[in-house]
Amino acid sequence: MRFCCGNVRSRFDRSDFAPEGAGISMLVPIRRFSRQGSSAVLEFLLLGGIYLADWRHYVIPSKVPYLLAVAWISLRLRQLRWRDVGFRLYRNWPTTLAIGVAAGLAIELLELLCTQPLLVRMTGQMPDLSAFNRVAGNVQWLAISLALTWTLFAFGEELIFRGYLMDRVAGLLGRTRLGWTVALFLASVLFGLSHFQQGITGVSENFLDGLILGALYWRLGGNLAVPIIAHGVTDTVDFLLLFFHRYPGPH
């Protein structure tokens, strides 16, 4: 769209007597936005359908691959790659790992020491992690859970909620500060709702975690590698605590 606007400006600069050409040029960004808006509506309807199917327990085994497929098709149709929405290192490997690990540990400490106790006091419920009970003391299930953590959960969810959804909404809203703020909020709400099986406390926790992961993505210039590592670290710590029977509360 900037390219088209640049053409309009240059035409006006070159001549004051080309209203038809200028008018056509001015319509290009409008038409382009209309096409993007129409395709975005279709994409969001598909996402909503996947969520509805998941809530009704029709999705097997996880909704993440289906959401990822919608995101990938959207990027392909817009001639974008995952790299274009942030799937790359932040400066270099040491910097990416250092920030990602530090952010992941900080998120986990904030959750276990601050936000979770506060939410439990407000709701009277611990997050429902009964689906992971088999991890406790079971090396095989711990290994399976950690493998899923770094594929479906960390890698897949960050590509979907930050790389695709946040970037898509921000792009539709002109990539202004307000646009990114709205995108951050919406993506975090959907991220929280994705964990509805964990109850109101789990949904709220993941909404707050989504805000932090999304803020990392936004403030690091749209970088996905750091949130992926941070997400993986938080989930890894959770599973290790479950394995050693050290996760707070009864399960």
pLDDT by residue (tens digit) across 84-110? 999 999 999 999 999 999 999 999 999
158 inside domain: yes
Mean pLDDT on 31-46 = 78
Residue 3, in any domain of the structure:
no
Q: Is residue 45 part of a domain?
A: no
Q: How far is CA 54 from CA 49, 63, 96, 131, in A?
A: 9, 7, 33, 15
Name the nearest CA neighbour of 132 among 195, 39, 218: 195
Asked whether the predicted pLDDT for residue 207 surpasses 70, the reply is yes
Contact, 132 vs 239, CB < 8 A? yes
In-domain check, residue 251: no
Whether residue 189 lies inside any domain: the answer is: yes
Residue 193 within any structural domain of the chain: yes
Helices 199-219 and 93-110: crossing angle in degrees, nearest 10, is: 150
Give domain status of residue 85, yes or no. yes
Residue 83: what pLDDT?
A: 97
φ and ψ of 34, to 5 deg = -60, -45
* Cα–Cα dist 146/53, whole Å: 26
Q: What is the pLDDT of residue 251?
A: 53
Helix axes 19-55, 2-14, angle to 10 degrees: 170
How many domains does the chain contain in total?
1
pLDDT value at position 229?
Answer: 98
Domain range for 221:
80-243
Reported as a single tens digit per residue, the pLDDT across 165-184 is 999 999 999 999 999 999 99
Tell me if 34 is assigned to some domain. no
Region 183-202: mean pLDDT is 97
Q: What is the pTM of this model?
A: 0.85
Average pLDDT over residues 131-156: 96
- Quote the CA–CA distance of 130 and 154 in Å, as a whole number: 20
